[in-house]
């Protein structure tokens, strides 16, 4: 994938933009706890925290499975994956692994370097 954030650590489809250009991050707190979301910019990174005054008893790791890009007959690409989360207790023992959602997103850019561009020296790694 040639998109600038392709070396990121966040799985595709788990970010704030849910539906390209008209529906962004929406959060619903369905607990009895109070939470605060803090966001800041550090160098070139957007850094966020979720804070609470309650003692945490679980930790989560969000990850993707079955990531693939398909080139459709009509010429565009679709990116697919499953989002899951591992649940850990505070001693780092895995206590669960849950399905979160499935993504099938029309890509709004050309994801692959064309053979012509690579032969013409379109991208030179390490320079």
Assess whether pLDDT exceeds 50 at residue 45.
yes
Query: What are the backbone dihedrals phi and psi of residue 111, each rounded to the nearest 5 degrees, phi first?
Result: -80, -15
Long-range contacts of 87-91 (CB under 8 A, 24+ apart): 87/58, 87/59, 87/60, 88/58, 88/59, 88/60, 88/61, 89/57, 89/58, 89/59, 90/56, 90/57, 90/58, 90/59
Q: Is 69 exposed, middle or buried (0-12, 13-18, 19+ CB in 10 A)?
A: middle
Tens-place pLDDT, residues 14-40: 665 556 666 666 788 988 999 999 989
Q: In what order do the strands lie in the sheet with 58-71?
A: 58-71, 77-89, 94-106
Assess whether pLDDT exceeds 80 at residue 12.
no
pLDDT band at 112 (very low <50, low <70, confident <90, very high): confident
CA dihedral 80, 66, 47, 51 (to 10 degrees): 110
Do residues 57 and 99 lie in contact, with contact meaning Cβ atoms separated by under 8 Å?
no
- The domain limits of the chain are 35-112
């Amino acid at each position: 994938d040639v998109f600038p954030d392709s070396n990121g650590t966040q799985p595709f489809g788990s970010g704030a933009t849910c539906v390209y250009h008209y529906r962004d991050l929406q959060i619903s707190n369905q607990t009895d706890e109070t939470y605060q979301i803090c966001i800041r910019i550090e160098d070139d990174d957007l850094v966020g925290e979720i804070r609470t005054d309650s003692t945490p008893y679980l930790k989560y790791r969000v990850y993707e499975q079955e990531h693939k890009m398909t080139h459709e007959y009509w010429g565009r690409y679709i990116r697919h994956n499953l989002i899951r989360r591992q649940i850990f207790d505070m001693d780092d023992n895995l206590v669960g692994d849950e399905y979160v959602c499935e993504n099938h997103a029309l890509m709004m850019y050309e994801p692959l370097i064309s053979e012509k561009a690579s032969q013409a020296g379109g991208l030179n790694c390490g320079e």
